[in-house]
């Protein structure tokens, strides 16, 4: 294991680690926790690791002389300090808040870490679906109130035989593919909409393909959202898409909150176009209690009770996935610094004269 050293210019809570042949390279984690064991193990002697507990705890010298940044991408006001930085690796899948153009114009590739929680998020999407279609939350709450009087085995207000249902995915990337494979295991009829997938992918995966979002929404009993958030997908599941939906559809979102117009979803639940929704993500996080859907859910209004399940953007989390994201992001930085291998770059269209 690398030994602990104090850097000359470190401020409080900034730690530098690393020994041996890699001391010429410096990797900075500007906002991290107390445990650095995973990062140290991945780096070994290949570089010096520098850890800070916040952007304001990083010295000017460290900003100017780091070769890579891993973790939360520094905001735009820090960009002009990155004199030597050759790569930024974000320890997350999403990158909608990152100044991709700003980094790219300075020759700094920005990479995400898309493969750390694929199974966890897909599992969560299926778990939300199962909780709703088997009325698990409904029965749990009812039995807690009246364990004897509410012992009603034959009551399942949202019950579906899964093998008689159509499961649709919007966005057939890593997570969408993993989720739809799980749905196939329940013998569900599976269909996807993704205009960016090449022709024939449906044959390779034994799926049906919808050629428009409206076509998908009109046939699904359950639709699960798995697209990135960008200008094209913001508000994608809005009034138009919901108006085209099969009556009684269940909507699952484990991607990004703003992909769904939450006010339109509220109205579609209210008029029973949407039977239920499982949301791990919201447009505002933590939840905006003034949003009509969130307010009605929080108050337990009769019309929405047990029809909406909200979890706190926790789909990705297991101890294994957290270790993976730390390890995978570190490897991405090292591979580029040591051999020029660029993986998972998300600002290629803006990248000018990569460092």
pLDDT digits (tens, 9 = 90+) for 253-266: 999 999 999 999 99
- Region for residue 344 given its phi and psi (left: phi exceeds 0; alpha: psi -120 to 50; beta: otherwise): left
Topology match between the domains 4-116+319-350 and 118-310: yes
CA angle 140, 262, 299 (to 5 degrees): 45
Is the pLDDT at 139 greater than 90, yes or no?
A: yes
Delimit the domains of the chain by residue range.
4-116+319-350, 118-310
- 3-state SS, one letter per residue, for 18-82: CCHHHCCCEEEECECCCCCHHHHHHHCCCCEEEECECHHHCCHHHHHHCCEEEECCCCHHHHHHC
Is 5 tagged catalytic?
A: no
Q: Which of 124, 160, 256, 307 is catalytic?
A: 256
Is 226 tagged catalytic?
A: no
Is the pLDDT at 19 greater than 70, yes or no?
A: no
Confidence of residue 313 (pLDDT cuts 50, 70, 90): very high
Mean pLDDT of the 93-98 span: 89
Q: What is the pTM of this model?
A: 0.87
Is the pLDDT at 343 greater than 70, yes or no?
A: yes
Integer Cα distance of 10 and 53 in angstroms: 12
pLDDT value at residue 10: 34
Is the pLDDT at 150 greater than 80, yes or no?
A: yes
Question: In sequence order, which residues have a C-beta less than 8 Å from that of residue 4 and are 6 or more positions away?
Answer: 15, 17
Please write the tens of the pLDDT for every residue from 230-276.
Answer: 999 999 999 999 999 999 999 999 999 999 999 999 999 999 999 99
Using N-to-C axis directions, what is the helix angle for 262-270 and 292-299, rounded to 10°?
50
pLDDT value at residue 155: 87
pLDDT value at residue 191: 98
Is the pLDDT at 16 greater than 90, yes or no?
A: no
Confidence of residue 51 (pLDDT cuts 50, 70, 90): very high
Average pLDDT of the chain is: 92
* Of residues 201 and 155, more confidently modeled: 201
Confidence of residue 1 (pLDDT cuts 50, 70, 90): very low
pLDDT value at residue 158: 83
pLDDT value at residue 292: 98
Three-state DSSP state, 4: strand
Is the pLDDT at 52 greater than 90, yes or no?
A: yes
The CATH number of the structural domain formed by 4-116+319-350 is 3.40.50.720
Cβ-in-10-Å burial (0-12, 13-18, 19+) of 126 comes to buried
Is the pLDDT at 294 greater than 60, yes or no?
A: yes
Q: Which of 313, 331, 335, 355 is catalytic?
A: 313
Q: Which fold has domain 118-310?
A: Rossmann fold (3.40.50)
Q: Which of 9, 41, 61, 285 is catalytic?
A: 285
Is 313 tagged catalytic?
A: yes
Is the pLDDT at 136 greater than 50, yes or no?
A: yes
Q: Are 314 and 79 contacting, i.e. CB atoms less than 8 angstroms apart? A: no
Q: How many CA atoms lie within 13 A of 227 on its CB side?
A: 26
Largest Cα–Cα separation, the chain: 71
Percent of the chain with pLDDT over 70: 94
Integer Cα distance of 313 and 310 in angstroms: 9
* Neighbour-count burial for 275-305, b at 16+ CB within 10 Å, e otherwise: bbbbbbbbbeeebeeebebbebbeeeeeebe
Identify which of 179, 197, 194 has the alpha carbon closest to the alpha carbon of residue 121: 179
Is the pLDDT at 32 greater than 60, yes or no?
A: yes
Is the pLDDT at 196 greater than 70, yes or no?
A: yes
DSSP 295: H
pLDDT value at residue 23: 53
């Amino acid at each position: 294991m690398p030994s602990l050293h104090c850097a000359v210019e470190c401020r409080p809570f900034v730690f530098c680690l690393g020994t041996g042949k890699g001391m010429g390279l410096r990797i900075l984690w500007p906002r991290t926790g107390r445990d650095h064991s995973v990062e140290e193990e991945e780096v070994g002697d290949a570089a010096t690791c520098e850890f800070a507990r916040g952007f304001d705890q990083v010295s000017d010298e460290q900003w100017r002389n780091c070769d890579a940044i891993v973790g939360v991408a520094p905001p735009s006001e820090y960009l002009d300090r990155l004199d030597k930085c050759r790569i930024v690796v974000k320890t997350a899948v999403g990158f909608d808040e990152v100044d991709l153009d700003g980094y790219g114009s300075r020759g700094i590739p920005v990479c995400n870490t898309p493969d750390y929680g694929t199974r966890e998020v897909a599992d969560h999407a299926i778990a939300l679906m199962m909780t709703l279609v088997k009325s698990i939350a409904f029965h749990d709450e009812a039995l807690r109130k009246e364990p004897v009087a509410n012992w009603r085995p034959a009551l399942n207000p949202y019950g579906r035989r899964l093998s008689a249902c159509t499961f649709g995915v919007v966005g057939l990337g890593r997570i969408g593919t993993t989720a739809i494979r799980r749905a196939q295991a329940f013998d569900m009829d599976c269909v996807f909409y993704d205009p960016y997938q090449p022709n024939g992918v449906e044959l390779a995966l034994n799926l049906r393909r919808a050629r428009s979002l409206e076509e998908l929404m009109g046939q699904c009993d359950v639709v699960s959202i798995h697209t990135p958030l960008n200008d094209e997908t913001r508000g994608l599941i809005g009034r138009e898409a919901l108006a085209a939906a099969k009556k009684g559809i269940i909507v699952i979102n484990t991607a990004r909150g703003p992909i769904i117009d939450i006010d339109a979803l509220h109205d579609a639940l209210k008029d029973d176009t949407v039977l239920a929704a499982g949301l791990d993500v919201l447009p505002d996080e933590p939840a905006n209690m003034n949003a009509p859907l969130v307010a009605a859910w929080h108050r337990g209004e009769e019309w929405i009770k047990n029809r909406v399940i909200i979890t706190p953007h926790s789909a990705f989390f297991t101890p294994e996935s957290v270790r993976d994201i730390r390890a995978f992001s570190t490897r991405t930085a090292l591979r580029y610094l040591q051999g020029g291998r660029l993986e998972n770059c998300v600002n290629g269209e803006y990248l000018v004269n990569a460092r």
